[in-house]
Structure 1
Amino acid sequence: MKPSLSWDEQVALLDNRGLTIPDKAECAQFLAATNYYRFSGYARYFQRPPHLGDDDFRQGSSFDEIRAIYDADEALRARLVIPLARVELVLRSHVARVIADNHGAYGRYLDEDFYTEIGDRKSTVEFCLRDIDRSKDRHILRYREAGIDRADYSKLPVWSAVEAWSFGTLSKVIERGGQGTLADAVATSTGIAKAGFAYRVRAMVYLRNRCAHHSRLWHHSVLDAGPTPNNVRHKAKRVAGQFEPRSVLDVIASLDDIACRTGVADPLLPRLVADYGRNSAFWQGLAKPQSPRDHGRDGP
């Protein structure tokens, strides 16, 4: 069991492990605002491999260097918020339009057999109803009656319902709706390639959730990586250099493509390259994510 350490004691621990800390008061203030555990997710890439019994920092490692990586990661999450939000909104609009035009605006989207479910997971309708039930918006409340456990939403139009769904629920509707036909129809409606469309949307949800929860993007291998089309990937690599299929940059390349094709945002990758440079430690950690165990001893 590890003891709980004060912020000054945390600074002392970093100092004892060989981290250069020019201003210990500033470091303590940063840890108080950030959390030592969150900071350690970045710091471990500057340490000798802890799993080999040595968690000292490599010679020359400094708090300011790690803080710069942390700040760049925080700034990247903030810059992703707007394009991700705009893509989410345009998808809501097209999902509602496609369902209303092809399947009817009322009721059908809440039928169990409207969806092709995956194994024994919670049904898509359950996710839809859960999100609608949680809504406090007037456009939803007017369909409820006091004292009824579950309202009758058969008269709730789909263009209203989509505004209550989380991005994750919207992604499930796209992937499973219309007995598997909805994804292709929404892709066609938005002018995006059909191949792998639903999984690309799922990758957007994954990235949005990491940003929303302030999770590390640097040296993160994306679990829900969508199949970014080869032509999109090749075009992005001409701007950004090489990056791995499960890297955050691959998802950003896919995001740029969807945002540009729907006209909701300008591409982000060129601006990121201009700001950080392909050879920076921050950029390399985005492009070629590694776990601390696989990370070499020579630098981040």
Structure 2
Amino acid sequence: MRQFVKPAITVAEQLALLKRRGIQIQDEARAALFLEAVSFFRLTPYMRPFQVHEDPDHAFQPGTGFGQISRLYDFDHRLRLLVIDAIKRVEVATRAAISNHMGPIHGAHWYLHRRLFKDRYKHKRLLDSIEGTQQKALRDYKREVDRINRRLTRADEAHKEQLRQRRAQESYARHYALSYDDPALMPGWAMLEELTLGDLSHLFKGLAKDHDRKSIGQRLTVPAPLLDSWLHTLSMVRNICAHHARLWNRELGIKPELPKQQNFPWPSYLRRSTPHTRVAVVLAVLHYLMQRVSPHTRWHQHLIELLQDFPEISKQAMGLPDNWCTDAFWQYKDKD
């Protein structure tokens, strides 16, 4: 451990530092605008592939230009947008799959029953979360009604009542808390919409009955253990995208399980015994799931076009072979 002594420096000083480290900057005004919009610190991980390995002064490899770094940043930005678009669709479809199975089988308020969950699942935390959501929605409504009553003193009562009714319909949590008291919490189909993808992943993993998990997985044409693993990984990747963090060459902290069935549609380059810890495996998971949840999607075409637009990007750093898009998997279409 040692004392931190690095000073905060201006954008002009940041440009001077980059030039001392050997980077070529053809348009300093444009580079300055880029640093004003992105920040030196956020750009730092995108500099590393262009720097001399383990150099204490962080020198850049000869011939490195600022434009190469900004293009890599732009590529990663566009990759994240593509990935999070697919994850959002998978997330919505997973909510629907759970709701469409659990509701008709176990009732509208199925999640209130402790017996439907494994012992280790934190059931009380789920109920407390939904109760908290409803209470907050109710507090917000009462605050808005007070504002209506206080500010519209000259308005007729019918107009004020109309406004109050509109506010009551702003969210289902608000509507349920104002309309029902038995059961005290909203039905399962509404509860699922209040969960984060991480919460959703934990809920699916926490279901006690194998039949329920298997049936939900079948709706997405994914074996339950595989879906369990994939949701966990996708929740982590979603957080990376939501926080605008580097994705393109990241080592995955939570690696998804790979399909074991030989007839399962999957890239041949991901069937090798080597570890698959880069974004390539996430792209394969998303392509497979998108064929099920959005069968007319051109998502995989957008992915192929993105990599074609940035031919200089190292595919190996993403876990992809150079000829990745010629693999039969990327022509896969769900037959259901």
2:317 corresponds in structure 1 to 285
**Cα–Cα, structure 1 residues 190 and 233, in superposed 2: closer, same or farther, change >3 Å?**
closer
Which segment is superposed worse, 110-119 or 223-232? 110-119
1:201 corresponds in structure 2 to 231
Gaps of 5+ in 1: 146-150, 289-300
How far off its partner does 1:80 sit? 2.1
Work out whether 1:36 is the aligned partner of 2:40. yes
1:58 corresponds in structure 2 to 61
How far off its partner does 1:280 sit? 3.7
Which secondary structure state, in structure 2, belongs to the residue aligned with residue 170 of structure 1? helix
Q: Deviations over 1:230-249 (max 9, x none)?
A: 5599743469x999522112
Are the counterparts in 2 of residues 112 and 123 from structure 1 also a CA contact under 8 Å? no
TM-score, normalising length: structure 1: 0.80
**Cα–Cα, structure 1 residues 126 and 117, in superposed 2: closer, same or farther, change >3 Å?**
farther
How far off its partner does 1:283 sit? 2.6
The structure 1 residue matched to 2:76, chosen from 73, 77, 87, is 73
1:291 corresponds in structure 2 to none
How far off its partner does 1:153 sit? 5.5
Q: Deviations over 1:238-273 (max 9, x none)?
A: 69x999522112011011111112335636445433
How far off its partner does 1:210 sit? 1.3
Superposed, 1:38-187 pairs within 5 Å as 38-50=42-54, 53-106=56-109, 108-116=110-118, 118=120, 123-127=125-129, 129=131, 137-144=170-177, 154-178=184-208, 182-187=212-217
- Identity among equivalent pairs (%): 24
TM-score, normalising length: structure 2: 0.72
Q: Which amino acid aligns with 1:164?
A: E
**Cα–Cα, structure 1 residues 237 and 265, in superposed 2: closer, same or farther, change >3 Å?**
farther
Are the counterparts in 2 of residues 128 and 169 from structure 1 also a CA contact under 8 Å? no
Q: Which amino acid aligns with 2:118?
A: T
The structure 2 residue matched to 1:24, chosen from 28, 37, 60, is 28
2:281 corresponds in structure 1 to 250
Are the counterparts in 1 of residues 24 and 64 from structure 2 also a CA contact under 8 Å? yes
**Cα–Cα, structure 1 residues 117 and 133, in superposed 2: closer, same or farther, change >3 Å?**
farther
2:267 corresponds in structure 1 to 236
2:151 corresponds in structure 1 to none
Q: Distance in 2 between matches of 1:242 and 1:279?
A: 27
Q: Distance in 2 between matches of 1:11 and 1:242?
A: 44
Q: Distance in 2 between matches of 1:199 and 1:35?
A: 35
Structure number with bigger Rg: 2
Q: Distance in 1 between matches of 2:80 and 2:112?
A: 34
Q: Deviations over 1:18-74 (max 9, x none)?
A: 111111111111111001111001102211234x52411111111111111111111
**Cα–Cα, structure 1 residues 26 and 279, in superposed 2: closer, same or farther, change >3 Å?**
closer
Q: Which amino acid aligns with 1:283?
A: K
1:293 corresponds in structure 2 to none
1:3 corresponds in structure 2 to 7
Are the counterparts in 2 of residues 95 and 186 from structure 1 also a CA contact under 8 Å? yes
Which secondary structure state, in structure 1, belongs to the residue aligned with residue 246 of structure 2? coil
Gaps of 5+ in 2: 141-169, 321-336
How far off its partner does 1:112 sit? 4.3
**Cα–Cα, structure 1 residues 264 and 123, in superposed 2: closer, same or farther, change >3 Å?**
farther
Aligned residues: 281
Which segment is superposed worse, 73-82 or 24-33? 73-82
How far off its partner does 1:168 sit? 1.5
